[in-house]
């Protein structure tokens, strides 16, 4: 296939709102971008042997998300008890200048970039002590999403700024789609960190700090992009699929 038309069976635009993890995607056979990339790389051989569904892994990650919710809830409750007031509220949406203001300056973008640094620092320190133990798939999740979160947050904020400035009113929809990818990436990263929690004695506090940071970022994004969770991604939210990519 050498044409850029979507073609029969393809899902138009699915690649605009994906998490760039083809190996765990149930829709690669219906994605034009994946097909074109496969033709360039290996003449479709990249379609073979992919871990398409990986149901046990996603089930483990879902349990990790539940465990993370308990850890975060307990940590916030302990902070409230010690301070006698609410802890770590989601920051209010700042008043931003029109789109000329760099999206990278937004507090959510800064927090997303800070998270990437926190994750890298955690792994560097852990690997100096001993090889990272625990679920290797959880480690893979964290490493896959740590920079993607920042990129998607910046894109979402940039689109929102353009929509607010009326330079491109349609950018608001794209910003919700990018924000949804960021939120899903945060959800999965939180689940993965909770799987690693406790596997490294002496690092529980640092891991919990990362979990709390991600939770604050998630709540901030939900405040700034209240419609993001409801955004319908082509394919992922409009077509029947397995539980491989919830």
Q: Is the same domain home to 21 and 129?
A: no
Question: Would you say residue 2 lies in a domain?
Answer: no
- The model's pTM is 0.76
Domain tally, the chain: 2
Question: Would you say residue 39 lies in a domain?
Answer: yes
Query: Tens digit of pLDDT for each residue in 21-75?
Result: 888 888 888 888 888 887 666 544 444 444 444 555 556 656 666 666 666 676 6
Specify the pLDDT at position 205.
87
| Calpha distance 7→160 (Å, rounded) | 32
Question: Would you say residue 143 lies in a domain?
Answer: yes
DSSP string, 163-180: HHTTS-TTHHHHHHHHHH
Domain, as residue range, for 190: 55-224
Q: Is the same domain home to 216 and 121?
A: yes
Tokens (6 digits) for 242: 């397995």
């Amino acid at each position: 296939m050498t044409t850029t038309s979507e073609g029969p069976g393809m899902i138009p635009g699915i690649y605009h709102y994906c998490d760039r993890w083809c190996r765990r995607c149930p829709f690669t056979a219906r994605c034009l971008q994946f097909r074109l990339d496969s033709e360039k790389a290996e003449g479709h051989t990249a379609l073979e042997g992919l871990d398409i569904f990986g149901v046990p892994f996603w089930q483990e990650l879902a349990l990790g998300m539940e465990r993370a919710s308990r850890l975060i809830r307990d940590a916030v409750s302990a902070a409230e008890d010690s301070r006698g007031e609410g802890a770590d509220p989601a920051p209010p949406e700042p008043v931003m200048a029109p789109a000329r203001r760099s999206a990278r300056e937004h507090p959510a973008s800064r927090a997303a970039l800070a998270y990437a640094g926190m994750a890298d620092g955690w792994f560097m320190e852990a690997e100096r002590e001993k090889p990272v133990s625990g679920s290797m798939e959880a480690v893979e999740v964290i490493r896959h999403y740590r920079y993607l979160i920042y990129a998607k947050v910046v894109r979402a904020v940039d689109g929102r700024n353009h929509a607010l400035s009326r330079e491109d009113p349609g950018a608001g929809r794209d910003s919700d789609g990018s924000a949804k990818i960021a939120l899903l990436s945060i959800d999965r990263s939180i689940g993965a960190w909770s799987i690693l929690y406790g596997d490294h004695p002496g690092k529980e506090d640092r891991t919990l700090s990362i979990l709390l940071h991600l939770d604050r970022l998630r709540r901030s994004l939900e405040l700034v992009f209240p419609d993001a969770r409801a955004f319908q991604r082509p394919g992922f939210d409009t077509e029947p699929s397995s539980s491989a990519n919830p």
